[in-house]
Amino acid sequence: MSKKATNTWNRGIFLALVKLFHFIAAVQFIYSIFYDWTYVYVPEKAIKHNRTTFGGKFKYLTFLDAIIQATYFIIALLNDVAGTNEVVLKSSKVPLIRKFKDYFFAAFAFPVAFNVGITFWGLYAVDRELVFPKAIDAFFPNWLNHIMHTNIMIFIVLELFTSFRLYPSRKAGLAGLSIFMAAYLGWLHVIKYKSNIWVYPILEVLNLPQRLVFFALSLVFSIGLYIFGEFFNEQIWVKEIKQATKHESKKAH
């Protein structure tokens, strides 16, 4: 078998594995959403702090992020079938599904996953009662906790390494992320207004100035995660980007 044929064969196997990875990821997050929505119920008396039913599970960023991850990997799977994962440096040369996938990853899937994961485990390490009271363990399975707070980061990093993406302009990407985060912070205040209860226990122990700082830092942190994802992506694919640039340069001449 020639070297070219071998490379083509290896490439075919790799792309098949990427499709399998996207399928497993999509099924995992879809099932976690279904299970959480259908079976997870924490009785009022099980935890100390007050809660509200207003907003349902959609008041939790963890649940919204699971939807984001499921949506992203469904889009990625559709792109595997109807789009392309090739290294292309101009968005005008890729199908619409690929453009949407790349933007969705950059603006939502990567930064929100790391925001949820880092914030959750960071607060958990300081005082788990502020974010995930021990009493909830009896009602919220450990495997589900890890899918929604750990696997979100693991799978999105694996995606970063296995599929090339062209990041949108920083202005466009940050606009989408900022609108989403601002909308969520606004949603938290709507819930507070309707029920007089903060969604997260940590907000109950902060005074107004501290909450303002907390919300501001949340936005800044999200923006930082976007920039980190953009930088990380460039470093991982630097070799392929150079080769594609060189190829484009030759075609131009």
Name the pLDDT band for 3 (thresholds 50, 70, 90). Answer: low
Q: What's the total number of domains in the chain?
A: 1
The percentage of the chain sitting over the pLDDT mark of 90, rounded to a whole number, equals 70
Strand residues in 1-118 grouped as ranges (E): none
Predicted pLDDT at 54: 87
Tokens of 142: 């450990």
Tokens of 170: 């920083």
Instruction: Return the half-sphere exposure (C-beta side, CA atoms, 13 A cut-off) of residue 64.
Output: 17
Compute the average pLDDT of residues 4-30.
88
Mean pLDDT of the chain: 91
Predicted pLDDT at 43: 84
Domain range for 14 is 3-252
Is the CB of residue 23 less than 8 Å from the CB of residue 74?
Answer: no
Instruction: Estimate the crossing angle of helix 208-236 against helix 110-127, to 10 degrees.
Output: 130
Tokens of 30: 């879809």
Euclidean distance between CA atoms 73 and 198, whole angstroms: 31
238, pLDDT greater than 80: yes
Predicted pLDDT at 46: 66
Between CA 240 and CA 244, with CA 243 as vertex, the angle to 5 degrees is 85
Name the pLDDT band for 201 (thresholds 50, 70, 90). Answer: confident
Best CA proximity match to 201, nearest among 213, 216, 214: 214
Over residues 118-153, the pLDDT tens digits come to 999 999 999 988 888 888 999 999 999 999 999 999
Is the CB of residue 185 less than 8 Å from the CB of residue 212?
Answer: no
47, pLDDT greater than 90: no
Place of tokens 């606004």: 186
Q: How far is CA 58 from the centre of its chain?
A: 16
Best CA proximity match to 64, nearest among 115, 134, 2: 115
pTM of the predicted protein model:
0.92
Predicted pLDDT at 90: 83
Q: How far is CA 202 from CA 123, 169, 237, 246, in A?
A: 9, 35, 39, 52
Over residues 25-38, the pLDDT tens digits come to 999 999 999 999 99
Is the CB of residue 85 less than 8 Å from the CB of residue 175?
Answer: no
For 152, residues 6+ apart whose C-beta sits below 8 A from its C-beta are: 65, 66, 69, 113, 116, 117
Over residues 61-117, the pLDDT tens digits come to 999 999 999 999 999 999 999 999 988 888 778 899 999 999 999 999 999 999 999
Amino acid, res. 62: T
Compute the average pLDDT of residues 164-183.
97
More confident position, 49 or 140? 140
